[in-house]
Amino acid sequence: MKAVLFDLDGVITDTAVYHYEAWKALGTKIGIDIDEEFNEQLKGVSRTDSLNLILEKGNKQNAYTEAEKTAMATEKNDLYKTLIEKMSPADLLPGIKNLLDELKAKDILIGLASASQNGPVILDKLQITNYFNEIVDPAKLKAGKPDPEIFVTGAQQLGVNVSECVGVEDAAAGVDSINAANMVSIGVGEAKNLGKATKVVPSTADLTAGLLEDVWSE
Ligand code: B16
Ligand code: MG
């Protein structure tokens, strides 16, 4: 194992609650109810694709022009940015800081494969930017998760083969993306959602360099 590619939301920190709150506020404004169950479908999905799913849910996919949709996505993102303003290292999920330290000590490369365009800002707020050798820019990708492009690009940026990487994800679309990239996948969460992962662990606290290496070499 030469590199680990991390998803951000749900693996490194829990920004999902802020995404949910911001989409819910937009939904209320346009008369579409977003509940927690529906919100699951938005995890790991890009901003534009999330908005399209929300409009489809409300049968409003043809109700707005492209300019209006861009304005709605911007409005959601502006609210999201105010919600994440106060994030700090205390918002790192359990075990993540220790895992990053272990990987660094073993000279294992670290990359970010998040669909979020706010990824670099959030890494800064968590004070972990310096651990990351590479960050994939999701704005430059043709296809979002579950397409493998984001994880394949991450491996290319790190200069390693996909067979030398492990990908870590909390969303089903993300696990599918890692698997389609022919990488070993670790799912964090419930096996019923992430059953296709090479290995599923219930919590980020279970993620150690030793576990990742064991799963990779199996
Ligand atoms: P942004 P991940 C994803 O992050 C979130 O899970 C998803 O809910 C969000 O819509 C997406 O990022 C885009 O985020 O609006 O900040 O560009 O799980 O891929 O780290
Ligand atoms: Mg995620």
**DSSP line for 159-214:** T--GGGEEEEESSHHHHHHHHHTT-EEEEES-HHHHTTSSEEES-GGG--HHHHHH
Q: In the prediction, which pLDDT does 118 show?
A: 97
Q: In the prediction, which pLDDT does 206 show?
A: 98
- The residue among 34, 33, 32 whose CA lies nearest residue 19 is 34
Ligand 1 atom closest to Cα of residue 169? 18
Q: How close is the Cα of 46 to the center of ligand 1, in Å?
A: 6
Residues of the chain with pLDDT under 50: none
Q: In the prediction, which pLDDT does 200 show?
A: 98
Which residue do the tokens 């109700």 mark? 63
Atom 5 in ligand 1: residue holding the nearest Cα: 44
Q: In the prediction, which pLDDT does 1 show?
A: 98
> What tokens were used for 3?
């590199």
Q: In the prediction, which pLDDT does 41 show?
A: 87
Atom 16 in ligand 1: residue holding the nearest Cα: 116
Give catalytic status of residue 9 as yes or no.
yes
Per the annotation, binding residues for substrate are 7-9, 23, 42-47, 50, 76, 114-118, 145
Per the annotation, binding residues for Mg(2+) are 7, 9, 169-170
> What tokens were used for 205?
């606290």
Ligand 1 atom closest to Cα of residue 73? 15
Q: Give percent of the chain with pLDDT exceeding 70.
A: 100
Ligand 1 near 52 CB (within 6 A)? no
Is the ipTM above a cut-off of 0.90?
yes
Q: In the prediction, which pLDDT does 5 show?
A: 98
- The residue among 185, 128, 107, 124 whose CA lies nearest residue 151 is 185
Atom 1 in ligand 1: residue holding the nearest Cα: 116
Q: What is the pTM of this model?
A: 0.92
DSSP H or E stretch at residue 4: strand 3-6
| pLDDT tens digits, one per residue of 23-50 | 999 999 999 999 988 998 898 899 999 9
Read off φ and ψ for residue 183, nearest 5 degrees. -105, 160
Which of 5-29 are b and which e, b meaning 16 or more Cβ less than 10 Å from the residue's Cβ?
A: bbbbbbbbbbbbebbbebbbebbee
**Rounded Cα distance, 79 and 173, in Å:** 25
Which residues contact residue 35 at a Cβ distance below 8 angstroms, ignoring those fewer than 6 apart? none
**Rounded Cα distance, 183 and 162, in Å:** 6
